[in-house]
Structure 1
Amino acid sequence: MCSLVDKYNIPGPRYTSYPTVPYWDINTFSLKNWIGSLKKSFSESNAVEGISLYIHLPFCESMCTFCGCNKRITKQHAVELPYIKSVLKEWYLYLNALGSKPKIQELHLGGGTPTFFSPKHLTYLINGIFLHAEKAENCELSFEGHPNNTTKEHLQALYDVGFRRVSFGVQDYDEKVQKAIHRIQPFENVATVTKVAREIGYTSVGHDILFGLPFQTEEAVKDTILKTKELLPDRLAFYSYAHVPWQKGNGQRGFNDDDLPSASLKRKQYEMGKKMLSEVGYEEIGMDHFALKSDALYQSMKNKKLHRNFMGYTASKTQMMIGLGVSSISDSWYGFAQNVKGIDEYQHLVQEGIIPVYRGHILQEEDRVIRKHILNLMCHFETNWKSETMYFNDLEEVLLRLRPIEDDGLIEITDHKIMVTQKGRPFVRNICMAFDMRLQRKKPETQLFSMTV
């Protein structure tokens, strides 16, 4: 395994989209053609499957130094209501553009720290969203909770407006690691919020765990997973820390590159963790995700309905996702659009009645076909081109790039089909890179992505 790690540990995308953001054609993008792509998608999909909604709530009271998200650090909670009013204003701008009532299949609150906001303000936000929208029959509402500040009142208020899934950011329980990433979070805090969520009635409680953090050892990962087994969350994200300190605005400071585990140690951490999780009943879902068989994410995988977008893996697929709030990314299937990253600029634009998009990409036909292949690989570990609609001109070139990967036993290529082997699952990002024609045609001159291992 170590030799494969050495060979395949290269910078590569996580493929929450294709094309990836650095390869968007921003020069031909405009707000007008973005809205056109949105209307087209809405007319095709709203009545059938509804839409997804992601809301970015960017405020945090302190900086976590492992975090690469867009956030603003403040203890001034007076920022809450003006920001929520701006998000609702942006939502109404989209409603006006769409022209009819959307059916929401999935809604997720991310951050930042969504539980920075008071229960009262979060309730106001969700009620405002659904004031002019229909809730789908099996609508899934979820949010990211910080174990240190998610109160029973938060959990109850969000439950009362329809939330049934919550994910708590755990990262690691080792004190030295927590100090390095500035996330002091005792096990007792996580145990308490997990218990309270279940008592209230949440049907899916998730934990996020990282490996490859500064000063993290195999023993630390083992201890974190043993503690996780005590609480038995319904689903887990167990993924590699993405070290991207060159990206503007992230907080990855306070430790040196030398403090990070080597690639081979990271892979040992992952393999050990995966084995331990399997022994207690967790099933691997896509890349770096695990769920109990009772969880909707596992059922979705078994039914070949697993989907991946800018929110990560989701149990239900919608063709269209609108991102609200600063830096959020929207996806119409035919195009992507990202909001401005500055909070002041964002609030100013929406108050002026302008949808606050600053860059995006309209997908070409080849983009859409390759996107389907990459989605298939990321969600189902296989793809095929039996249908003419899945063929594209450079497919033979892709297959040539995949031959060495096949020789290493990571995939099996048969007539019109590729299957990722168990051995190859840790390297699915590398396999997807062979399909990434925009990356292959223009190799980056500087490092754009985190390492694949």
Structure 2
Amino acid sequence: MSISLVQKYNVAGPRYTSYPTVPYWDETSFSIYNWEKSFLQSFQESNQSEGISLYIHLPFCESLCTFCGCHKRITKRHEVEHPYIEALLKEWKLYCAAFPETPIIKEIHLGGGTPTFFSAENLATLINGIFKTAKKSSAYEFSFEGHPNNTSRTHLQTLYNLGFRRVSFGVQDYSEQVQNAIHRKQSFHDVAKVTFWAKEIGYTSISHDLIFGLPFQTLENVIDTIEKTKSLSPDRIAFYSYAHVPWIKGNGQRGFKDEDVPKDDKKRQLYEVGKKLLAQKGYQEIGMDHFALQDDALFKAFKNGELHRNFMGYTSSKTQLMIGLGVSSISDSWYGFAQNEKELEAYYARLEQNELPVFRGHLLTEEDLIIRKHILNLMCQFSTSWHHAKNYFTALPDVLNQLTEMEKDGLLVISENYLVITEKGKPFIRNICMAFDLRLKQKAPETKLFSMTV
């Protein structure tokens, strides 16, 4: 890794779980009426052929992890579980009332917050309630995020019995100093315990989430964390870059100083060393920040050109329509995005009025759709093409001209109809996508919006 390249290209930029990115949504043309037209079009096109996905946001956590950028509500009062489950099921009924036929669900992902804040019994009530008005796809894939400190064997067994076969455990880093800084204390013993339980029960894909660039994190910490992780042999590993955005996340990320956070070349070294250690154990790099063993579905999807990326991150199976349930959840019809109310009280209030609790969104233009495809191709396959006329857009020559400097630096190769990111260019994938991001270029942010790209 060239020091000069990191310094040259390490700028603030999106992570591209969507295009347009949320700060660049055009909310002026958005309405609940237009959103309903958008998701119904997508439903009619795709329900029978591939099914739909559900992302369900479970926002409660018992304590605040200071590295976290998710929407959450900190509480130790578990009486909040039941009314929230009831609200989720009411929201789902509103969608089902709009659908012209019974929805066929291909994917469910329980995210948070801390999904395992909820009792196994309440989670079963939620999933069983969903399927009172829905069917399972023959190729369904259900997953959830588990906190190693509070995921019980009962959680794992109950969700397995309901069809869940994939679980991701948040590990982050095993260093005591780092854990103290990010307020996320968990032992290797607890992580090993839940990992072995999941294997014994029969989960077919177990993932560990690690983070590089955390406050006080050293190279020795990363090596130790990855060696411990390798000893448990999870099927997938997400090795995320810590997004240091205290101006957005408020007090949570102000529990340490900026100088305590590794930056630039020092931060990138943590990833490069970690990547080499993972490769030694057979983990293949997939997309951005993800690794999988060769028999895992994520690796197979990457090799087959079927990898997909959305607000849930990378997924091995694509659906055109993803409905987000719960506070702050984002839905994606392919033609449009819609985000739910971020505050719990506002979310409840909208449902009390029998309204979809959507407060903002974006309807994609024809140009948006083309650029979205290019950015998805780059993020999922490290290449894109405009060989077919339908993939061409007016500003493409300007985009390619902007990328000539990166091509000179050996980060990508541009031919007449193709762009391919080189191995050297993979760390700069967000920068390359930014060249295609016309909305970002048309209106550069006046304040800090994004984390650093490298």
CA distance in 2, matches of 1:192, 1:248: 32
Q: Are residue 415 (structure 1) and residue 416 (structure 2) matched?
A: yes
TM-aligned CA deviation for residue 249 of structure 1: 5.7
CA distance in 1, matches of 2:300, 2:252: 36
Moved more, 247-256 or 370-379: 247-256
Partner residue, 1:377: 378
Partner residue, 1:81: 82
Partner residue, 1:55: 56
2:69–2:249 contact (8 Å) kept in structure 1: no
* Amino acid corresponding to residue 111 of structure 2 in structure 1: G
CA distance in 2, matches of 1:392, 1:69: 34
TM-aligned CA deviation for residue 344 of structure 1: 1.3
Q: How does 1:282-431 map to 2 (within 5 A)?
A: 282-431=283-432
Partner residue, 1:137: 138
TM-aligned CA deviation for residue 262 of structure 1: 1.9
* Amino acid corresponding to residue 44 of structure 1 in structure 2: E
CA distance in 1, matches of 2:224, 2:85: 39
Partner residue, 2:265: 264
CA distance in 1, matches of 2:143, 2:274: 26
Q: Are residue 106 (structure 1) and residue 97 (structure 2) matched?
A: no
CA distance in 1, matches of 2:437, 2:403: 12
CA distance in 2, matches of 1:212, 1:224: 13
DSSP-derived class of the 1:223 partner: helix
TM-aligned CA deviation for residue 316 of structure 1: 0.3
TM-aligned CA deviation for residue 252 of structure 1: 1.6
1:68–1:252 contact (8 Å) kept in structure 2: no
CA distance in 1, matches of 2:287, 2:16: 12
CA distance in 1, matches of 2:433, 2:215: 28
CA distance in 2, matches of 1:262, 1:432: 22
CA distance in 2, matches of 1:257, 1:249: 14
Q: Deviations over 1:283-302 (max 9, x none)?
A: 01111100000100001111
1:320–1:331 contact (8 Å) kept in structure 2: yes
DSSP-derived class of the 1:49 partner: coil
2:47–2:103 contact (8 Å) kept in structure 1: yes
TM-aligned CA deviation for residue 197 of structure 1: 0.5
CA distance in 2, matches of 1:408, 1:248: 35
Structure 2 alignment gaps of length 5 or more: none
Partner residue, 1:188: 189
* Amino acid corresponding to residue 377 of structure 1 in structure 2: L
Partner residue, 1:25: 26
Q: How does 1:190-269 map to 2 (within 5 A)?
A: 190-248=191-249, 251-269=252-270
CA distance in 1, matches of 2:48, 2:145: 28
C-alpha RMSD of matched pairs (Å): 0.8
Q: Deviations over 1:365-415 (max 9, x none)?
A: 000000000000000000000001100010000001110010110000011
Compared CA separation, residues 74 and 67, structure 1 to 2 (3 A): same
CA distance in 1, matches of 2:251, 2:435: 29
Q: How does 1:168-179 map to 2 (within 5 A)?
A: 168-179=169-180
TM-aligned CA deviation for residue 263 of structure 1: 1.3
* Amino acid corresponding to residue 5 of structure 1 in structure 2: V
Q: Deviations over 1:70-117 (max 9, x none)?
A: 000000000001001000100010111122111111100000000000
1:89–1:351 contact (8 Å) kept in structure 2: no
* Amino acid corresponding to residue 237 of structure 1 in structure 2: A
TM-aligned CA deviation for residue 195 of structure 1: 0.2
* Amino acid corresponding to residue 299 of structure 1 in structure 2: K
CA distance in 2, matches of 1:105, 1:244: 34
DSSP-derived class of the 1:67 partner: coil
TM-aligned CA deviation for residue 253 of structure 1: 2.7
Partner residue, 2:274: 273
1:143–1:165 contact (8 Å) kept in structure 2: yes
Q: TM-score, normalised by structure 2?
A: 0.99
* Amino acid corresponding to residue 386 of structure 2 in structure 1: W
TM-aligned CA deviation for residue 351 of structure 1: 2.2
CA distance in 2, matches of 1:423, 1:287: 13
CA distance in 1, matches of 2:404, 2:257: 37
* Amino acid corresponding to residue 412 of structure 2 in structure 1: I
CA distance in 2, matches of 1:112, 1:168: 13
DSSP-derived class of the 1:137 partner: strand
1:211–1:266 contact (8 Å) kept in structure 2: yes
TM-aligned CA deviation for residue 155 of structure 1: 0.4
DSSP-derived class of the 1:313 partner: strand
* Amino acid corresponding to residue 144 of structure 1 in structure 2: E
* Amino acid corresponding to residue 401 of structure 1 in structure 2: Q
CA distance in 1, matches of 2:260, 2:229: 25
CA distance in 2, matches of 1:3, 1:174: 30
Q: Deviations over 1:24-60 (max 9, x none)?
A: 0011111100110111111111111111100000000
Identity, in percent, stands at: 65
Partner residue, 1:166: 167
DSSP-derived class of the 1:404 partner: helix
CA distance in 2, matches of 1:99, 1:58: 30
Q: How does 1:147-158 map to 2 (within 5 A)?
A: 147-158=148-159
DSSP-derived class of the 2:109 partner: strand
1:69–1:250 contact (8 Å) kept in structure 2: no
CA distance in 2, matches of 1:300, 1:141: 16
Q: Deviations over 1:161-181 (max 9, x none)?
A: 010000000000000000000
DSSP-derived class of the 1:236 partner: strand
1:70–1:250 contact (8 Å) kept in structure 2: no
TM-aligned CA deviation for residue 250 of structure 1: 7.0
* Amino acid corresponding to residue 119 of structure 2 in structure 1: S
Partner residue, 2:438: 437
* Amino acid corresponding to residue 284 of structure 2 in structure 1: E
Q: TM-score, normalised by structure 1?
A: 0.99
Partner residue, 1:449: 450
CA distance in 2, matches of 1:249, 1:360: 24
* Amino acid corresponding to residue 222 of structure 1 in structure 2: I
Partner residue, 1:68: 69
* Amino acid corresponding to residue 134 of structure 1 in structure 2: K
DSSP-derived class of the 2:384 partner: strand
* Amino acid corresponding to residue 241 of structure 1 in structure 2: Y
DSSP-derived class of the 2:48 partner: helix
